[in-house]
Chain A
Amino acid sequence: AQSVAQPEDQVNVAEGNPLTVKCTYSVSGNPYLFWYVQYPNRGLQFLLKYITGDNLVKGSYGFEAEFNKSQTSFHLKKPSALVSDSALYFCAVRVPFSGGYNKLIFGAGTRLAVHP
């Protein structure tokens, strides 16, 4: 079955330290991968995507993600965390669906807490 997994419910990081939010996927073919962020009581905001090309993708707010095909992973990273990065992060993958359509599948989300 095609799926996305975010193995950590919560990640705690001290401000100024690097952060990593993990995502692994199980998809046939070449995946399209996405990261979204959700601040309290808000909708999801698009952060970045990987479709093809360079395995290191840069996105909004200083975030980047590394696509690793052999490990089927797409981890979100930031060199220096800010308290304002504290939010809920979702990984998503686009999978082929019947009729030539594509469907988005989301992971369960990881809550990032950055402490001063």
Chain B
Amino acid sequence: EAGVTQSPTHLIKTRGQQATLRCSPISGHTSVYWYQQALGLGLQFLLWYDEGEERNRGNFPPRFSGRQFPNYSSELNVNALELEDSALYLCASSNRAEAFFGQGTRLTVV
């Protein structure tokens, strides 16, 4: 069974640009969480989708947005990139019992 896949693995953008990160959950999982992890520190909760709807949002500005598609895959969009957006972005999929993580997308803003 395939795990959670995230693409791209690495992404380099210029300040002010937009970044799109993608996540494919484990088959049968309807819930997707997005987290930001800067400098190997703790996980900052970004967004949570379940069954196509945004269920909860962390304390991030509106330029962080996303969506979940009918097949439960998800996109995270970051507009007007800032240098401090450089981080590892982790996606987790859940069947509401436990969560499994992808390997993350390393976003670097220069």
Contact = CB atoms under 8 A, between A and B. Distances in A.
B103 A103 contact: no
Contacts of A94: 97
A111 to B, nearest CB: 8
Contacts of A99: 55
Interface residues of B, number: 28
- Which 10 A-B residue pairings sit nearest by Cβ, starting from the closest? A108-B42, A43-B101, A44-B101, A43-B103, A109-B42, A106-B43, A43-B104, A43-B102, A102-B96, A104-B99
Interface of B: 4, 6, 31, 33, 35, 40-43, 45, 48, 50, 55-56, 88, 90, 92, 94, 96-104, 106
Given A92-B99, A103-B56, A109-B42, 19 more contacts: A32-B98, A34-B99, A36-B101, A40-B40, A42-B104, A43-B4, A43-B6, A43-B103, A43-B104, A46-B98, A46-B99, A90-B42, A101-B31, A101-B55, A103-B55, A104-B99, A105-B45, A106-B35, A106-B42
In which size bucket is the chain A interface?
20 to 34
A41 interface: yes
Contact of A49 (B50, B55, B98): B98
A88 B40 contact: yes
A72 interface: no
